[in-house]
Amino acid sequence: MAEKMATRQAYGEVLVELGAKRKDLVVMDADLSKSTMTANFGKTYPERFFNMGIAEQNMYGAAAGLAASGKVVVASTFAMFAAGRAFEIIRNSICYPKLNVKICATHAGITVGEDGASHQAVEDISLMRSIPGMTVLNPSDGTSARKAVEAAVEMDGPCYVRLGRAAVPVIYPEDMQYQIGKGILLRDGKDVTIVATGIMVNEALKAAEALKEKGVSARVIDIHTIKPIDREILIRAAKETGGIVTAEEHSVIGGLGSAVAEVLCQEAPVKMRMVGLKDTFGESGKPDQLMEKYEITWENIRQACLSLLSLLK
């Protein structure tokens, strides 16, 4: 059985390592440090850690002030409260002046599970990628989460990193090559392309394996950077395979599927299918049960591919 790790756990671990390398790194949290995994940074570097309480707007406003004074600020809370409650502060106080604040938001998507709809952010990618100048990263496993956080801290300017609660299979080796804005070809194929992000990358790989048993050759691409998106890898896939299925743990409105369609309708129009939440809130339940109910499993990806292929014949 493959090793599993929550992307939020990898985030907590790499933060401590980055703290040793960068004395200008400051971490902030909205009274959720045990859940967001920033607590260890706080214990190791207490003089550079600030628990701002349940006051997300205030936290991001203070983060902007620290960044304006020369610090690199990583500020965490749940995705629902970062992208939702603090949207205006992130837009006007961080992105408009192009400040060096990294919004590392955990507990994104419906795999938050039992916390229910109020805590399941399925609109955050849409909200964050719509802000001018915001970079949006959505790692798929523990390894890519480490690389994403490292890259976010090293880049100049605002960045949103989407992290999850549940443990997911580790896909990548520790020495993976990671570059903001460059998708990763995980599996080549000629019949159809599955473009996935976040935890849906593992589901895409399982779907591709199931399709192989049916004689279908499926390409799998990990789009870990939603913005700026890798136009080149998407256009090539559209031209070479003729059909695209996107997969995301997010609403199909404004998320990965929308971002891919925006590129391809201009450069290489092809038929598409989108696997994601269909204009609905989530609910309380086990992550696996929720993925099944809201039709974002590997089987749903497989079915979407077969449906698309029937139109391409």
Residue 7 and residue 215: Cα distance in Å, rounded?
33
- Looking at the structure of the chain, the number of domains it has is 2
Residue 224 and residue 256: Cα distance in Å, rounded?
10
| Whether residue 273 sits in one domain with residue 132 | no
Q: Tell me the per-residue pLDDT of 210-231, one tens digit each, with 9 for 90 and over.
A: 999 999 999 999 999 999 999 9
178 part of a folded domain: no
| Whether residue 153 sits in one domain with residue 129 | yes
| Whether residue 135 sits in one domain with residue 234 | no
Instruction: Report the sign of the C-alpha dihedral through residues 162, 178, 145, 51, in that order.
Output: negative
Strand, helix or coil at 270? coil
Q: Are strands 72-78 and 25-29 parallel, antiparallel or unpaired?
A: parallel
Q: State which residues form the domain around 223.
A: 184-312
Residue 63 and residue 55: Cα distance in Å, rounded?
12
179 part of a folded domain: no
Residue located via tokens 């038929």:
271
177 part of a folded domain: no
Q: What is the mean pLDDT of residues 277-294?
A: 96
| Whether residue 149 sits in one domain with residue 259 | no
Determine what percent of the chain is predicted with pLDDT higher than 70: 99
Final residue of a structural domain among 146, 169, 192: 169
Size of the chain, expressed as the number of residues it contains:
313
Residue 238 and residue 193: Cα distance in Å, rounded?
8
CA angle centred on 99, ends 157 and 72, rounded to 5°: 80
| Whether residue 24 sits in one domain with residue 123 | yes
52 part of a folded domain: yes
Residue 27 and residue 9: Cα distance in Å, rounded?
15
| Whether residue 190 sits in one domain with residue 281 | yes
Q: Tell me the per-residue pLDDT of 27-50, one tens digit each, with 9 for 90 and over.
A: 999 999 999 999 999 999 999 999
Residue 279 and residue 203: Cα distance in Å, rounded?
21
Q: What is the mean pLDDT of the chain?
A: 96
Is pTM beyond 0.85 here? yes
CA-wise closest residue to 258 among 173, 119, 136, 91: 136
Instruction: Report the sign of the C-alpha dihedral through residues 20, 25, 149, 275, in that order.
Output: positive
Burial class, 223, CB count within 10 angstroms (exposed 0-12 / middle 13-18 / buried 19+):
buried
| Whether residue 191 sits in one domain with residue 165 | no
Residue 209 a catalytic site member: no
Q: Give whole-number Cα distances, 83 to 77, 90, 91, 233, in Å.
A: 10, 8, 10, 28
* CB contact at 8 A, 257 and 198: no
Residue located via tokens 């983060």:
63
Q: What is the CATH number of the domain that holds 35?
A: 3.40.50.970
Q: What is the DSSP letter of 252?
A: S
Identify the active-site residue in 3, 17, 56, 248.
56
Final residue of a structural domain among 169, 192, 209: 169
| Whether residue 156 sits in one domain with residue 97 | yes
Q: Tell me the per-residue pLDDT of 55-82, one tens digit each, with 9 for 90 and over.
A: 999 999 999 999 999 999 999 999 999 9
255 part of a folded domain: yes
175 part of a folded domain: no
Q: What is the pLDDT of residue 1?
A: 43
Q: Is the pLDDT of residue 237 over 70?
A: yes
Q: What is the pLDDT of residue 2?
A: 59
| Whether residue 109 sits in one domain with residue 73 | yes
Q: What is the mean pLDDT of residues 171-188?
A: 97
Q: What is the CATH number of the domain that holds 258?
A: 3.40.50.920
E strand or H helix at 262? helix 256-267
Burial class, 214, CB count within 10 angstroms (exposed 0-12 / middle 13-18 / buried 19+):
exposed
Q: Tell me the per-residue pLDDT of 125-156, one tens digit each, with 9 for 90 and over.
A: 999 999 999 999 999 999 999 999 999 999 99
| Whether residue 150 sits in one domain with residue 24 | yes
| Whether residue 112 sits in one domain with residue 31 | yes
| Whether residue 251 sits in one domain with residue 150 | no
Residue located via tokens 């993976």:
176
